[in-house]
Amino acid sequence: MQDEQIILDSVERFLDRHVRPVAKALELADAYPHEVVSEMQRLGLFGATIGEQYGGMGLPASTYAKIVEQVSAVWMSVSGIFNSHLIMCAAIERFGTEDLKQQFLPRMARGELRGGIALTEPDCGTDLQAIRTRADKDGDSYVINGTKQWITNSVQGNVLAVLVKSDVNTTPAHKGMSLLVVEKSAGYKAHKLAKLGYRGVDTGEVLFEDVRVPASHLVGAQEGRGLQQILSGLALGRINVAARGVGVADAALKASLNYAQIRKTFGQPIAQHQAIQLKLADMATQVEAARLLTQRAAAAYDSGERCDLEAGMAKLFATETAMHNANEALRIHGAYGYAPENEVERYYRDAPLLVVGEGTNELQRLIIARQLLERYPA
């Protein structure tokens, strides 16, 4: 616990010095935070969950979730830069050959390589078995063709874990899917997409046209395991998104508490009005519940248990709490909250991403229900 607090204190100093002063301006300009990223490298955030034997910090998910919450309460976009990266690293560390781990993880831990996961395509997101991007074996290489969309770190980053169809004839479809590590130097092209929120971090469309990568960049010892490999990594991703939800929800609450005590109507602070007090009470209660669910999911992940249920519950509740609190904060702030100069407006734009990212909340409900039926059969 003492070591964890030292890390969290270091993160808080980093946020105070390097993120808070620039977040508003960079977010409104949709400008990539190059200097912030350099400081993140120095702090070791790109190696947060990578094992120490590969140059990472080897942090448990429970500590990692607290870091993500801290960062997201200041500027959520920053957390996305290292989250997508670490999901990719988790897949390599869990399933890659030792040669693949040695080739990529030390550089990724240092932030020299900054990665992302290329799953979604123009015609499929939740239904990953419908992907069309192909990787055809050609000697000791794969040749990749296809398009990926909404890929974080694809423009400013320099390596991706790409989900491909390595065998289009195999049924069921997931048995013909593989995961390949592809460096940008191999020749893929990416361009930035505009977004309502989650600004500053690059989210792009990625084009693969006869991009050739060594067969040794296959994650795992054989083809056909890609979907399972990346879905395993998404458990950590959903814990991250839940922690982001807690951070945004808590920031919205604190902004509302502050504003409600200085804004006056009818001769008294609006915090004295019962209607506002009811909102604040619900916002605070939901933040605490979301935080506990997120920590429970992180503890399950750290124990090595299957944690689809816990991660799904945390992601669902925490992100819906972010949506609720952002909306309530805007209502408490009134017209002032609608102005782009106010951070509440940013929370209102950022929160909707969370209910969609790492699997929609509709999908989370299905996952939760199926896990419940498995765990508690009649």
In this structure, are 10 and 56 located in the same domain?
Answer: yes
- Do 98 and 117 meet the contact criterion of CB atoms below 8 Å apart? no
Below-50 pLDDT ranges, the chain: none
Q: Do 136 and 238 share a domain, yes or no?
A: no
Looking at residue 280, which CATH number applies to its domain? 1.20.140.10
pTM of the model: 0.94
Active-site positions read 358
- Distance between CA atoms of residues 366 and 369, nearest Å: 5
Is the same domain home to 49 and 105?
yes
Given 224, 244, 277, which residue is the final one in a domain? 224
Backbone φ and ψ of 115, nearest 5°: -115, 180
Q: Which of 61, 62, 49 is nearest to 89 (CA)?
A: 49
* Residue 208, both tokens: 């693969």
Dihedral sign, Cα of residue 250, residue 232, residue 198, residue 355? negative
Does residue 86 sit in the same domain as residue 161? no
Are 197 and 246 contained in the same domain?
Answer: no
Helix (H) or strand (E) holding 4: helix 2-14
Half-sphere exposure of 123 (CA within 13 A, CB side): 7
Q: Could you tell me the end-to-end alpha-carbon distance of the chain, in angstroms, rounded to an integer?
A: 41
CATH number at residue 87: 1.10.540.10
Domain that holds residue 191: 115-224
Domain CATH for 148: 2.40.110.10
- Helix (H) / strand (E) element for 226: namely helix 226-262
Predicted confidence at residue 1, as pLDDT, reads 61
State the DSSP string of 26-78. HHHHT---HHHHHHHHHHTGGGTTS-GGGTS----HHHHHHHHHHHHHHHHHH
- In terms of domains, do 123 and 30 share one? no
Do residue 38 and residue 75 come from a single domain?
A: yes
What pLDDT does residue 2 have? 62
Q: How high is the pLDDT of residue 357?
A: 84
**Residue 17 DSSP class:** I
**145 and 200 fall within a common domain:** yes
Q: Where are the alpha helices (DSSP H) in 263-303?
A: 274-302
Indicate the residue among 190, 206, 224 that finishes a domain.
224
Q: Where are the beta strands (DSSP E) in the chain?
A: 115-118, 134-138, 141-152, 159-165, 177-183, 189-192, 203-214, 264-265, 268-269
Say if residue 46 is in the same domain as residue 138: no
Q: How many domains does the chain have?
A: 3
What radius of gyration do the chain's Cα atoms show?
Answer: 21
Q: Check: CB of residue 240 under 8 Å from CB of residue 45.
A: no
Q: Are both 244 and 152 inside the same structural domain?
A: no
Same domain, 367 and 242: yes
CA 277 to chain centre: 32
Looking at the structure, do residues 234 and 193 belong to the same domain, yes or no?
no
Residue 21 burial (CB count, 10 A): 11
Please identify, among 109, 134, 158, the residue that sits at the C-terminal boundary of a domain.
109
